[in-house]
Structure 1
């Protein structure tokens, strides 16, 4: 019997995701026993500052990856949207799972959707990307920073700190939390373009054949196509969560792939983006190519100004 250790954060969502993968592995590999190793990350400890100012989503991975490199774990299960596009030496992004709902969602006790929010409504999000797209639609809204795990954010909503909050729909669906609020509104891709990798789990592993064999079983082809485009786009723009970037690639029923992107300033005073439809034969480097077209239109200068604006906020 082989023993596979999955390093994980201790939040409800992280534990749900890791236990889900544990169950899938144990159901399909009778010679593998899986245990979880809970690790508190820097991102879990620093809750009083926006992610963009303290180093980005990579703060949720650092200690987990160090544990794997020390040989204390062979696998980690991440929300792929939190995984930087460059992997540490010795570790691999070995599988991308079937995606949950990729959309953002608005949660509210009083209002069913973005359009129904009253003038001056207070909306909570820690994401510059969500902030930019909300302000683009509704410049009258008051956007306030919101940190903490999913249940903490919902508690703050229910206590009246916010009129609405924006979270990834996938996390709410996985935890079965939609019933905890009066209104759960998945935001269409036309209204808000999600983060790269949103809705997918990224399986990070050490480079050992028996671990890679297990990871290969978890791989979803369409998710790999979609997220490779999204990650290529962000990597070419050298963008993390310190700048507002949305990108979504979706494989359609006919096999074509629709790619949407948007980037700009946090106050939405300047934005740019594209939407293209590709055949699967055209998806190699499609994200990079889209980013390069936007760079030719001044995207890098715009993102530099966005980072300065975010740091001054």
Structure 2
């Protein structure tokens, strides 16, 4: 009987989605006769410690995963459960993505104090978000809106909406679904209106590439359509050297293959916008190779000046 130590952030959402993943892994282990048990270890990350600065100004990649990955490298934990949108493109040496389970809703969710939709928000409404990607797309559609940085876990952000002077806030729908607060959502923003972050709604189960026992178990947890979509989105991210410090988003959908020998078709839309939303670049392409598709859409945006916009945002 092997004990598998599972590393996670200590927020309510992180613990909830880690607990859900562990329950599914237990069921898979039992089904396939794999003798193991699980323990959860909570780890504090840099992104959890620094809450009074916007994400774009905290600096560095892996704000919510670096300490967890170090524990994985050091052998203190055996697997890590991350939100895929927090994962940098490059992984530390020796670590791999062992599984990408089925994706939750990838959309952004609008939560308001009374308005019924984004269009219904009053002129000059105050909207809270810590994401440059969200604020760029919001201001592109509604340049009259006032955007204010909003950090913290889900419950603290909802509390600030209830108690402070915000008219609305934006959160990932997936987190609200997982934690059981679907009823707080006023409206979903479709990808056509607000492209989600790369990998939003998906989980990343990370492990050591040398741990065959864990790799065998995680291989049974993989959801291939989700993995294909996320691979395309992450290839887009990698080509643009993106992260949570820049206004960049992408979403890939997967259509069923025409026959057993045919590869599924993916359609990927990517965006890069100026922080104030004045410039918004979008491209869409389709293909069966996720990595090639991600790079293709990124290159189309680079040809329109995306790298200049991203460099200006970084500085």
Q: Pick the TM interval, shorter chain.
A: over 0.9
User: What does residue 173 of structure 2 align with?
Assistant: 169
Q: Can you give the 5+ residue segments of structure 1 that lack an aligned partner in the other structure?
A: 309-313
1:187 aligns with 2:189: yes
| Equivalent pair of 2:286/2:293 in contact (CA under 8 Å) | no
SS in 2 for 1:303: helix
Q: Under a length normalisation based on structure 1, what TM-score does the superposition of the two structures give?
A: 0.94
Deviations 1:249-308 (CA, angstroms, capped at 9, x unpaired):
011357532211110210012221202233x3x434110111122222222112112223
Deviates more, 1:252-261 or 1:91-100: 252-261
The answer to whether structure 1 residue 36 and structure 2 residue 40 are counterparts is: yes
Q: Does 1:293 align with 2:300?
A: yes
Query: What is the RMSD computed on CA atoms of the aligned residues?
Result: 1.4
**Shift of residue 56, structure 1, vs aligned partner:** 5.1
Cα distance in structure 1, aligned partners of 2:18 and 2:225: 21
2:260 is matched with: none
- Conserved? CA contact 1:106–1:114, under 8 Å: yes
| Alpha-carbon displacement from aligned partner over 1:177-217 (angstroms, at most 9, x marks no partner) | 123x3x52111111100000001000110120001011111
* Structure-to-structure mapping, 1:44-59, within 5 angstroms: 44-55=48-59, 58-59=62-63
Aligned partner of 1:303 in structure 2 is 310
Q: Which residue of 2 aligns with 1:241?
A: 244
Q: Secondary structure at the match of 1:114?
A: coil
Give the conservation status (yes or no) of the 8 Å contact 2:228–2:290. Answer: yes
SS of 2:63 mapped into structure 1: helix
Give the equivalent residue in structure 2 for 1:275.
284
Summarize deviations over 1:87-123 as a string: whole Å, max 9, x none.
0011111111100001001011211210000001100
- The TM-score normalised by the length of structure 2 is 0.93
Moved over 4 A (4+): none
- Which residue of structure 1 lines up, in the alignment, with residue 26 of structure 2? 26
Deviations 1:24-66 (A, max 9, x none): 1112213110000011111111100011111256121111111
CA apart distance, 1:148: 0.2
- Given the superposition, is the C-alpha separation of residues 175 and 192 from structure 1 closer, same or farther in structure 2, using an over 3 Å criterion? same
User: How far is the alpha carbon of 1:234 from its aligned partner?
Assistant: 1.0
Contact 1:178 1:184 in 2 (8 A): no
Matched-pair contact (CA < 8 Å) for 1:239–1:245: yes
Give 2:158's aligned residue. Answer: 154
Q: CA deviation at 1:226?
A: 0.5
Residue aligning to 1:311: none
Alpha-carbon separation, structure 2, partners of 1:140 and 1:253: 41
Larger mean CA deviation between 252-261 and 87-96 belongs to 252-261
